[in-house]
Amino acid sequence: MRPVTGGAVDRRGAVPRWGDGRDLTRYLCAAAYLDREYAKSLIKQVAAEPHLGVAAAPACDVPVVLRHAYLANARRHGRDLVLTVLLLLSFVFSFWVGNYSITLLVLLVSWVTVLSFELSTTYGRHLQSLRPERFDPAAAPPPLNGDIAVRLRQIGDYADGNVTTYSGYSPFIGYGSELDSWSLTFDVTTSSRPGGKPQDFDVTDLYAHIAERLGTLVLPCLEIEERLFVDGSTLLEDTRFLPDPLGRPVARIPFERMDALKRTPEEGARPYLAVHSTGWGGELVTSLFLRFVRSDSNLFVEAVPTVLFPLLDRYRVIDTLMPRPPLRELAKMFSETLVSTLFVLLAAPVRAVAGFAPDYWMSRRVRRQDKLITRLRRFDYGARQSVRRQAAATNHHRYFQKADSGMVLKTVEKRVLDALVEFAEARDIDVGDLIQRQEMIINNGIIATQGARVDSSSVASGEKSRISMGILNKIPLVNTD
């Protein structure tokens, strides 16, 4: 575990490293061999898309996973070709020659082919190279061709970027499930001294102060970054984020542009201060996204917590695989392939044809996208899928994981509120009731302050409002559903 100090220089130039994510990358590489649909979705929705942004994948080396996904698909295509030939032979000998004994022999060979493929997948060199003591990301399979190599390099650039181009409702694609967010607004024109006048401030100074104070926390693999979330449907004609309409959105913007968007946020482009804590070998990522908006008289504060849950258990099988199949496992594989061979055999021709021309289908899709861009001038460049979240569970696997997420969020939220009060007091701004209530976040995480406007149906606010101390003193559990 390594705490990160949050000085301004470190914060603005830092790229989250997510602790030790080596095992997580290894699990996802194994998932590409074990889960056909997962591997196909990685290729179709991420690797083969030349126009879309790339979602965050905390603790995951995306290009390495995609290289294994391409190899896994190529191996499946080779098997489907062999099965297609065998299926044709069975039809010839059954309906043309009329020799059913040879047909049975062909079916037997088909079963042997399916069994051999399963054995070589599970106990062959590719999956065995992903065992804990053997895994080397640098030894990932090479790209199948030059075009794929270029796309993987572009995708790799997003890991060092500070821009997320999203599609649909939530901008926080890749960071897991959103928990209950909170927000508050308070007056920054009232002085704490009678007749006094508060000092004016730039909202970028507030971002820097909050980041600096958060950087002193000691939490598991604490990392702080500034990140811009851009609506992919608003990018066309905006050269700041999309220099080439037929290319991908930018992965990084300069600090000056980020500061300009803090001062004047736009509908489709909003900057956040992101605080991440990574634990459990990179599998549990707890984040808090903070946004501050300064108007003439008020400061709006928004906080959105997210939790990226551990991977599905079925993707961890690589840790329990023996170098050689035990007799019991071998018998199980014999019986399972005996049942599934007929279905795999019947599906082989369609899969084989599709596997012959994956680039053709991709080219057709890209041509349709190019028409939308050049003729209709409408296209959503936002990422559709996250390599990491696609394989994640929908809840914590352990009680202590849930406890860790709650601890991180409570600790970070308290530090944010403390830093907010410090910043206001230093500029002679009346924080009023915020000082007394700064540590009291009620069930949906909203802070009530004297005279503040609070966006919640469950909280009373304003000059005369009161909140029961019995409620305020409760420390709620984090809602992870």
Residues 204 and 110 in one domain: no
Binning pLDDT at 50, 70 and 90, where does residue 403 land? Answer: very high
Residues 236 and 105 in one domain: no
Please state which of the ranges 170-184, 394-408, 449-463 shows the lowest mean pLDDT: 449-463
Name the one residue in this structure whose structure tokens are 């499946």.
76
Signed CA dihedral, 9, 11, 16, 18: sign only = positive
Residues 355 and 236 in one domain: no
Which residues, listed in sequence order, are joined to residue 293 by a DSSP beta bridge?
Answer: 300
Question: How many CB atoms are closer than 10 A to CB 125?
Answer: 8
Query: Does residue 364 sit within a domain?
Result: yes
The Cα–Cα gap between 49 and 51 comes to 6
Residue 374: exposure state from Cβ atoms within 10 A (0-12, 13-18, ≥19): exposed
Domain count, the chain: 2
Tell me the per-residue pLDDT of 249-292, one tens digit each, with 9 for 90 and over: 999 999 999 999 999 989 999 999 999 999 988 889 999 999 99
Closest CA to 20 of 68, 57, 65, 60: 60
Provide the b/e sequence for 314-350 (b: ≥16 CB within 10 Å).
ebbebeebeeebeeeeeeebeeebeeebeebbeebbe
The Cα–Cα gap between 263 and 75 comes to 52
pLDDT at 452: 42
Residues 190 and 262 in one domain: yes
Query: Does residue 288 sit within a domain?
Result: yes
Q: Quick one: three-class SS letters along 334-346?
A: HHHHHHHHHHHHH
Residues 287 and 180 in one domain: yes
Residues 280 and 426 in one domain: yes
HSE, CB side, 13 Å, CA atoms: give it for residue 432.
Answer: 16
Q: Which residue type, as a one-letter code, is found at position 335?
A: S
pTM of the model: 0.84
- Name the residue range of residue 133's domain: 22-152+316-391
- 356 in Cβ contact with 74 (< 8 Å): no
Binning pLDDT at 50, 70 and 90, where does residue 435 land? Answer: low
Q: What DSSP string runs through 112-134?
A: HHHHHHHHHHHHSHHHHTTSTTT
